[in-house]
């Protein structure tokens, strides 16, 4: 085996990519073109290419481009008794909640769902104020790469987004930022390895990547197979854009409500059979 062949055999994809990038790009467009050429030459796989493009995009995106808007924030009011807000916490299934005092502009701190174990340990002396974590505020004009550095440095996972007047305009989590780079991150729902999960009141929680044919088979629905392959694609086609959390659309005999989405994709939806159609029994 000659030296050239030996070097090729030992080099990693990163080393080969470095050699390929020796012709320096003049701008972002040329860099992206080189990366796509590297993909076509099998120096990069699809996942690596997507992640590199995600890293490049994070430097251009602002917090307001990714944040969850104020109107869609699930919050706990400090005046609510535990008997009222704990069922809400369980139903929404988040791990962190902003705790407010009467108004979303007045955020007192962040409640970690796991800290509610203190309530069950000693209900008589429980005071939600005693278990709140400090709240971090960030301007909506901050770049995502800078926010990610802040999250890493302070070990916070959630920040409250404020506008130029100091009012709360939304919230953002470290997961929201990282997903711009690596795509959807598995959560507790994903770990069940189920794509269609029965929920309350005849609803189903469905992953956006669920194939429409599988949903039709599981729920006995008649959703069209020609428009899109997945539930996310079907919802996006009918809404006309990548929807935000809380948006609702009706397709054939189903009502879809977006439970989780980011600026690029729909992750999870709630599906409800319309009343005029006999409903399938969750199995």
Q: What are the residues facing 272 on neighbouring strands? A: 203, 255
pLDDT number for residue 158: 94
pLDDT number for residue 188: 46
pLDDT number for residue 13: 60
The residue extents of the domains of the chain are 3-44, 65-182, 188-273
pLDDT number for residue 99: 96
Core vs surface per residue 65-104: b (16+ CB within 10 A) or e: ebbbebeebbbbbbeeebeebbeebeeeeeebbbbbeeeb
CATH number of the domain located at residue range(s) 188-273 in this protein? 3.30.465.10
Q: Taking Cα atoms as reference points, which of 251, 257, 244 lies closest to residue 227?
A: 251
pLDDT number for residue 271: 92
pLDDT number for residue 42: 75
Segments of the chain scoring below 50 in pLDDT? 6-7, 9-10, 188-193, 277-283
Fold of 65-182: CBS-domain (3.10.580)
pLDDT number for residue 185: 56
pLDDT number for residue 281: 47
Residue 105 neighbours by CB distance under 10 Å: 15
Which residue reads 């007047």 in tokens? 165
pLDDT number for residue 255: 93
Q: Taking Cα atoms as reference points, which of 264, 233, 261, 267 lies closest to residue 245?
A: 261
d(CA 175, CA 20): 32
Q: What's the predicted TM-score (pTM) here? A: 0.57
pLDDT number for residue 191: 40
pLDDT number for residue 242: 84
pLDDT number for residue 156: 87
Which residue reads 């055999």 in tokens? 9
């Amino acid at each position: 085996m000659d030296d050239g062949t030996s070097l090729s055999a030992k080099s990693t994809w990163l080393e080969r990519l470095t050699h390929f990038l020796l012709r320096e790009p003049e701008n972002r467009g040329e860099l992206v073109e080189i990366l796509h050429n590297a993909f076509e030459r099998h120096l990069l796989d699809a996942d690596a290419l997507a992640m590199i493009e995600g890293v490049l995009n994070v430097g251009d995106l602002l917090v307001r481009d990714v944040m969850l808007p104020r109107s869609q924030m699930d919050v706990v009011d400090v005046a609510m008794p535990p008997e009222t807000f704990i069922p809400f916490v369980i139903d929404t299934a988040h791990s962190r909640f902003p705790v407010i005092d009467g108004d979303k502009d007045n955020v007192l701190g962040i409640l970690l769902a796991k800290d509610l174990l203190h309530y069950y340990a000693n209900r008589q002396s429980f005071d939600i104020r005693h278990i709140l974590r400090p709240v971090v505020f960030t301007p909506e004009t901050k770049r995502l790469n800078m926010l990610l550095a802040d999250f890493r440095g302070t070990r916070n996972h959630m920040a409250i987004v404020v506008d130029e007047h100091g009012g709360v305009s939304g919230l953002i989590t470290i997961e929201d930022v990282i997903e711009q780079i690596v795509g959807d991150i598995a959560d507790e729902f994903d770990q069940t390895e189920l794509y269609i999960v029965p929920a309350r009141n005849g609803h189903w929680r469905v992953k956006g990547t669920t194939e429409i044919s599988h949903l039709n088979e599981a729920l006995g629905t008649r959703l069209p197979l020609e428009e899109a392959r997945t539930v996310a694609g079907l919802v996006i086609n009918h809404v006309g854009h990548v929807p935000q959390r809380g948006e609702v659309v009706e397709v054939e005999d189903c009502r879809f409500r977006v439970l989780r989405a980011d600026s690029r994709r729909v992750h999870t939806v709630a599906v409800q059979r319309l009343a005029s159609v006999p409903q399938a029994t969750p199995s």
